Amino acid sequence: MSRLTPLSLSGDAGQRAAGLPRNALLCVVGARPNFMKIAPIMAALRAPDCPIPACLVHTGQHYDEDMKDAFFNQLGIPEPDVDLEVGSASHAVQTAEIMRRFEPVIDAVDPSGILVVGDVNSTIACALVAVKKGVPVIHVEAGLRSFDRAMPEEINRILTDQISELLFTTERTAHANLVREGIDEQRIHFVGNVMIDTLFGHRAKAIPTAKTLARYADAKAVATCGDSYAVLTLHRPSNVDDPFVLERLIDTVVCLSHDVPVVFPVHPRTRAVLQKAGLLKKLSAAPRLWMLPPVGYLEMLGLMAGAQMVLTDSGGMQEETTALGVPCITLRSNTERPITIDQGTNTIAGSDADTILSVARDVLASGGKAGRIPEKWDGRAAERIRDVLVVWQEDRRQSGAGRV
Ligand code: UD1
């Protein structure tokens, strides 16, 4: 599906960036999983005592009310200073278009650095533009590796890390991965997990499941789910792009819904394939399974916190369930976040029906892995990032390398 805003309609991003403070730090977001990572970083950088001028650029990779606005509003993310309004397209077109639209922003601001988060197309696209213009790249959530190069995100991670000047990690295995790939240890900083800063900061405001189900499903859903339900999310190309693979997973989950009711907020990518392959009927016919539109951050936090288990192929939700102490069943054959397996509540189940059902039934019977919260997942990662950035910018200024 393509929804690329023509450049002529998106206006001239460079002109809009011309009013921004020169040499500011440009923080970049693009897609849904970036929003909960950038929120605490922008808050830390825009705190009155922080000497670093910081601006926010949204590439527009995700643009819907459901996929973007709900997150900006609920998480208190400032309005982007520049919106590149790139929209959806193939990987190559989307990445190329972000690069084309980001370059004039760099030219206009001459930033002291650009800060990118995670592993989406916006991350690598902006990093690549910046590094070729001699602007230092700062990567938050560096060093995670699934060792599966068929994943578009794995390519984005490896390449972004290779061209980054400062690399902030969430777990110690990430440090080892980076060193193995030849990254100078001096550039790596283990700061913890900004996504968990957001989770702890919003835990008390989570919207209860009954309210979400009353709004997006019906009274029967509220009554059936009570305090025992599973949450399902699916959006990885490897799970959803091939209708046969997707149908097998759907059949498995429909089968599981006889054991435990299932709540399924459906990603737009997944909905498009379900629709095209005629699979929506199968899901609607399952009496204990409810499809929801993509829900906001506070709705999803409430759904996860109250669930008996979460079945997902999302990377972020593997971490969030570990922080919440809720069992997670990962519908992939690997994870780039091994700490969620070693210390957290996560179990890898892949896409085989028997394995998924057996792991899920085990969780229902035993309560699943209790897990513990990993080191430095304490709500203060963004502060640590800011502290490193302040020292780094001062060092660059003194050595004459920095623009500040
Ligand atoms: C992207 C990220 C993935 C992340 C996911 C979270 C890459 C390579 N992948 O995948 O790592 O986990 O976001 O959602 O960057 N769409 C809408 N509304 C929107 C955005 C997208 O309807 O606001 C639809 C479009 O039809 C689009 C499809 O979703 O074609 C996929 O969007 P895209 O950004 O290409 O990738 P995701 O699958 O969302």
Among residues 153, 196, 147, which one has the least CA distance to residue 176?
A: 147
- Structural domains present in the chain: 12-192+378-399 (3.40.50.2000), 207-366 (3.40.50.2000)
Task: Write the residue with the smallest CA distance to atom 35 of ligand 1.
Answer: 88
**Rg of the chain over CA atoms, in angstroms?**
21
The atom number, within ligand 1, closest to the CA of 68 reads 23
Task: Write the residue with the smallest CA distance to atom 9 of ligand 1.
Answer: 120
- d(CA 89, ligand 1 centre) in Å: 9
Q: What sign does the CA torsion over 3, 149, 145, 158 have?
A: negative
The atom number, within ligand 1, closest to the CA of 63 reads 23
pLDDT given for residue 9 in this prediction = 42
pLDDT tens, N- to C-terminus, the chain (404 residues) = 456 554 444 457 888 898 899 999 999 999 999 999 999 999 999 999 999 999 999 999 999 999 999 999 999 999 999 999 999 999 999 999 999 999 999 999 999 999 999 999 999 999 999 999 999 999 999 999 999 999 999 999 999 999 999 999 999 999 999 999 999 999 999 999 999 999 999 999 999 999 999 999 999 999 999 989 999 999 999 999 999 999 999 999 999 999 999 999 999 999 999 999 999 999 999 999 999 999 999 999 999 999 999 999 999 999 999 999 999 999 999 999 999 999 999 999 999 999 999 999 999 999 999 999 999 999 999 999 999 999 999 999 999 886 54
Task: Write the residue with the smallest CA distance to atom 28 of ligand 1.
Answer: 269
- Tokens representing residue 145 in the block: 């590796």
Give yes or no for residue 313 CB within 6 A of ligand 1.
no
- Ligand 1 binding pocket mutation candidate from 61, 93, 158, 270 (most atoms within 8 A of CB): 61
User: In 59-165, which ranges are E strands?
Assistant: 82-83, 87-88, 113-117, 137-140
User: In 75-215, which ranges are E strands?
Assistant: 82-83, 87-88, 113-117, 137-140, 166-169, 188-190
- d(CA 266, ligand 1 centre) in Å: 12
- Ligand 1 binding pocket mutation candidate from 62, 63, 141, 153 (most atoms within 8 A of CB): 62
Measured in whole angstroms, the distance separating CA 227 from the mean position of its chain's CA atoms is 27
pLDDT given for residue 12 in this prediction = 75
Give yes or no for residue 270 CB within 6 A of ligand 1.
no
Task: Write the residue with the smallest CA distance to atom 11 of ligand 1.
Answer: 120
Task: Write the residue with the smallest CA distance to atom 21 of ligand 1.
Answer: 62
Q: What is the pTM of this model?
A: 0.96
Active-site amino acid positions: 235
* Rounded Cα distance, 297 and 300, in Å: 5
Cβ-based neighbour number of residue 372 at 10 Å: 12
- d(CA 62, ligand 1 centre) in Å: 6
Q: Using CB atoms within 10 A of its CB, is residue 205 exposed (0-12), middle (13-18) or buried (19+)? A: exposed
Give yes or no for residue 141 CB within 6 A of ligand 1.
no
- Tokens representing residue 211 in the block: 């309210």
The atom number, within ligand 1, closest to the CA of 61 reads 34
